[in-house]
Structure 1
């Protein structure tokens, strides 16, 4: 009986040790998953834009090799043309749904929350990456006095003049903040020129590198 009791005790202890080992492994896997899965932060968005904007030649913009960059916000009521496969006919759908389709993201709330104007990305940090970013709100302020538009310069006229000359030489494109799927391995941005063109572009992260996939939306402004 004593020998049997010792065996049972040994088995019981081994079961406890095995349980502790499996539990520790599970916790370690959970922690590793948390560390490996990135979070959608402003730094993550800016790192994406840095990688995208270092080489703008990918957009096939022959006259925009080293342009100035400014930000354009998405508008809540924007729509895009998308093919209705059942009717085999293009139709206008909400921007959030359009992006969700192309990012293959079922959670449209996740997409729409990123389009919210309250979640504006501060792109000024792009300057630290050597990107020629312009925040026009830092340079000019616009006021309406009755029916007249008054432009207030927040920097010297000479600074505005020099910047305008540089933009005329190197050109300027605007870009939206990126919109990501939940896995943060696919992204959508729009970029364009004030007067001529506008593109919607899809990216995918492969081997920890953002790869240009295709232009899924294009039109003249």
Structure 2
């Protein structure tokens, strides 16, 4: 049945009037179901940022990164003066074995579990923030390079289809040469729970290995709590 024609009264339905009532009820239930699913951003993968409460400013995120980077936990040993890049948080599916049961779970769901945050859409929307600029760490004394201002690789699936370079060839070669002589780390934008007392970040060390970190805020101080994952090449 064409719902639009039905509502406008242009549709001739051979069903008895009682059947029409059933159709209207079904239509209302369908609308209600759509409203209830608006928050299910992870399931529908809506690529649109939603303003959440509380609002987490980029200044708050930079202050957090500055606080934890002052600690020797991350910028230690040969990474004391490391070049810092921004890392993108993915939302891939993972296979986990929980209590003897194999399940598929997304990266965002794992982050939400790590933060003890029930609202996964609140976590997901933070990853969509395109205004976050890790170069804001530069005035605080960190050696930061925003790779998006240098080059961009365009992929279709796993295939590289285009390379866009935004600096001269000489400048790009100088950057590569500098990176060969110096250590680098890639840090993700921090993800917080709604209470703003827990935070999650991902850090890759020179493309060799990486850790996911959980921090907790007590007495206005961010403290490392635990590792939330790791990888090694």
Q: TM-score, normalised by structure 2?
A: 0.65
Contact 2:149 2:166 survives alignment (8 Å): no
CA deviations 1:89-142 (Å, max 9, x no partner) are 5644111211111111111111111123x5452112111111111112222355
Number of the residue aligned with 1:214:
226
Contact 2:75 2:82 survives alignment (8 Å): no
Could you tell me which runs of 5 or more consecutive residues in structure 1 were left unpaired when the two chains were aligned. Answer: 1-37
Contact 2:217 2:223 survives alignment (8 Å): yes
Could you tell me which runs of 5 or more consecutive residues in structure 2 were left unpaired when the two chains were aligned. Answer: 1-53
CA distance in 2, matches of 1:150, 1:105: 38
Query: Does 119-128 or 180-189 show the bigger shift?
Result: 119-128
Aligned length: 177
Matches within 5 A, 1:1-221: 39-55=55-71, 57-59=72-74, 62-75=77-90, 77-80=91-94, 82=96, 84=98, 87-89=99-101, 91-116=103-128, 118-141=129-152, 149-150=162-163, 152-155=165-168, 157=170, 159-193=171-205, 195-221=207-233
Q: TM-score, normalised by structure 1?
A: 0.68
CA deviations 1:137-189 (Å, max 9, x no partner) are 22235579xx87555351461x4344333322331111111100001110001
Which structure would you say has the larger Rg? 1
CA deviations 1:13-35 (Å, max 9, x no partner) are xxxxxxxxxxxxxxxxxxxxxxx
* SS in structure 2 of the partner of residue 126 of structure 1: helix
Contact 2:151 2:163 survives alignment (8 Å): no
* SS in structure 2 of the partner of residue 106 of structure 1: coil
* SS in structure 1 of the partner of residue 143 of structure 2: coil
CA distance in 2, matches of 1:153, 1:40: 31
Structure number with the higher helix fraction is 1
CA distance in 2, matches of 1:81, 1:192: 22
Tell me how large the CA RMSD over aligned residues is: 2.9
